[in-house]
Amino acid sequence: MVTRKVGKYQVGRTVGEGTFAKVKFAQNTETGESVAMKILAKSTILKHRMVDQIRREISIMKIVRHPNIVRLHEVLASRTKIYIILEFVAGGELFDKIVHQGRLSENESRKYFQQLIDAVSHCHGKGVYHRDLKPENLLLDVYGNLKVSDFGLSALPQQGVELLHTTCGTPNYVAPEVLSQRGYDGAAADIWSCGVILYVIMAGHLPFEETDLPSLYKKINAADFSCPYWFSPSAKLLIENILDPNPTTRIKIDGIKKHPWFRQNYVPVRHREAEEVNLDDIRIAFEGIEDQYVTEQSLGKEGGPLMMNAFEMITLSQGLNLSVLFDRGQDYVKRQTRFVSREPPKVITSSIEAVAEQMGLKVHSRNYKMRLQGVTANKAGQFAVVLEVYEVAPALFMVDVRKAAGDTLQYHKFYKNFCAKLEDIIWRPAEGMANSSLLRTVSC
């Protein structure tokens, strides 16, 4: 079985995957601290001319240190890769919580919105605009506190330039002035996205949702939405002030913080002003100083699934709360899910391939890692799922499944259908064994 080590970090399972980077769980072997390791291939960065963008993302995360923003610890480099070491946020995405509960109470929504505004206000105070704020980029820590992540689309305006011009972000959350492809104020655009997020977590659905983009853009440009009956008058008024299609009259951060609905039970976050930012590790990573490279090691024999250690098994649960592993009643489908099998790894992979082909998906397989690809339900883009097989005990294997591309709700439907077709290989321990065994994990 193979394990990997990068410098002082023991590298574990993949917890996220995008077009240009993978994010893996890792553990600092010196301190025992859990971290998220974002891995980028230097060849990919160069091929797509993304050196400046990646360097900017790293610099931004060092500039905007705040309790409600995912913390960047350090940056490492090998001869072929760059490793961004980030705070590991164990509570999952706010999006998952919304899917599970349908909608959040007004008080709970207010708490998350207050933390979001605190984080966004801090960013704007540093001249940083996120530009892709949405529930999937908002994580929850073990205490249920919100953490803003994914600054890949963030912008720092050039000196002397006040307006941004790049159209980016997720359409349902994007401000109308951004869609118009004219210059826009990054702060006002972020505030609009915050308003959509507040609406979503209180309503359980989007304010602007259409099957085709022209109709969606028309609704956004007209701010054509209505609030559900359960919104309090004060919350409704605040959302209407935020979702103002005119960015010049849209409420500002200061106005939000003074609003009576926002101020209820509001306790401003306390934090130390960030220490002096040291960018030496970024310079080393991008300028390639060879004597500063970390070593990459593969430990063990090739040819089998990765071995998952006990510590990593525990961190699969949200917030180290083992009941999420033990209690089937708490299980719900998220963008990353898993099941257990006692079948040999090759039987597992061949069964997955057969089911994927039945479902009309293309299969790419390599070393017990598979990518299933198709088109999204509305045929607007790619739908992709990545699976990895891990050995968690002798003759016991866990299949980690995660969405790589496409709509998260579509992934929920796919996963349930997928598990139903794999019923023959999924192992569920007898109730007595499940209650007594150390190894209990989430399954379909």
Classify domain 94-263 at the CATH topology level. Answer: Transferase(Phosphotransferase); domain 1 (1.10.510)
Q: pLDDT at position 89, please? A: 85
Q: What are the two backbone dihedrals, phi and then psi, of residue 89, each rounded to the nearest 5 degrees?
A: -105, 110
Q: Which sequence positions are flagged as catalytic?
A: 132
Domain range 2-88, CATH architecture: 2-Layer Sandwich (3.30)
Cβ 284 vs Cβ 55: under 8 Å: no
pLDDT bracket for residue 381 (50, 70, 90): low
Query: What are the tens digits of pLDDT across the range 311-323?
Result: 444 444 433 333 3
In the numeric block, which tokens belong to residue 160? 């002397």
Instruction: Given CATH 3.90.1150.10, say whether it is the number of domain 306-434.
Output: no
CA dihedral sign, ordered 23, 385, 131, 158: positive
Q: What are the two backbone dihedrals, phi and then psi, of residue 399, each rounded to the nearest 5 degrees?
A: -105, 115
Q: pLDDT at position 125, please? A: 84
| Burial class, 143, CB count within 10 angstroms (exposed 0-12 / middle 13-18 / buried 19+) | exposed
In the numeric block, the tokens 């996120």 are attached to: 130
| Intra-chain end-to-end CA distance of the chain, in Å | 26
pLDDT bracket for residue 380 (50, 70, 90): low
Distance CA 364, CA 358 (A): 15
pLDDT bracket for residue 193 (50, 70, 90): very high
Cβ 385 vs Cβ 336: under 8 Å: no
- SS3 annotation, the chain: CEEEEECCEEEEEEEEECCCCEEEEEEECCCCCEEEEEEEEHHHHHHCCCHHHHHHHHHHHHHCCCCCECCEEEEEECCCEEEEEEECCCCCEHHHHHHHHCCCCHHHHHHHHHHHHHHHHHHHHCCCECCCCCHHHEEECCCCCEEECCCCCCECCCCCCCCECCCCCCHHHCCHHHHCCCCECHHHHHHHHHHHHHHHHHHCCCCCCCCCHHHHHHHHHCCCCCCCCCCCHHHHHHHHHHCCCCCCCCCCHHHHHHCHHHHCCCCCCCCCCCCCCCCHHHHHHHHCCHHHCCCEEEEECCCCCEECCHHHHHHCCHHHCCHHHHCHHHCCCCCEEEEEECCCHHHHHHHHHHHHHHCCCEEEEECCEEEEEEECCCCCCEEEEEEEEEEEECCEEEEEEEEEECCHHHHHHHHHHHHHHCCCCCCCCCHHHHHHCCCCCCCC
The count of other CB atoms within 10 Å of the CB of residue 263 is: 12
In the numeric block, which tokens belong to residue 339? 């099941």
Nearest Cα residue to 6 out of 31, 22, 27, 23: 27
Q: Read off the pTM.
A: 0.64
**Structural domain spans, the chain:** 2-88, 94-263, 306-434
Mean pLDDT, to the nearest integer, of 360-382? 78
Q: Any residues with CB less than 8 A from the CB of 213 and at least 6 apart, and which?
A: 171, 380
Q: Compare 306 and 434 and report the one with higher pLDDT.
A: 306
Query: What are the tens digits of pLDDT across the range 247-269?
Result: 999 999 999 999 999 999 998 88
pLDDT bracket for residue 336 (50, 70, 90): low
The pLDDT > 70 percentage for the chain reads: 72
38 annotated ligand-binding residue? no
pLDDT bracket for residue 131 (50, 70, 90): confident
Q: Compare 162 and 427 and report the one with higher pLDDT.
A: 427
Q: Any residues with CB less than 8 A from the CB of 268 and at least 6 apart, and which?
A: 118
Q: Compare 387 and 101 and report the one with higher pLDDT.
A: 387
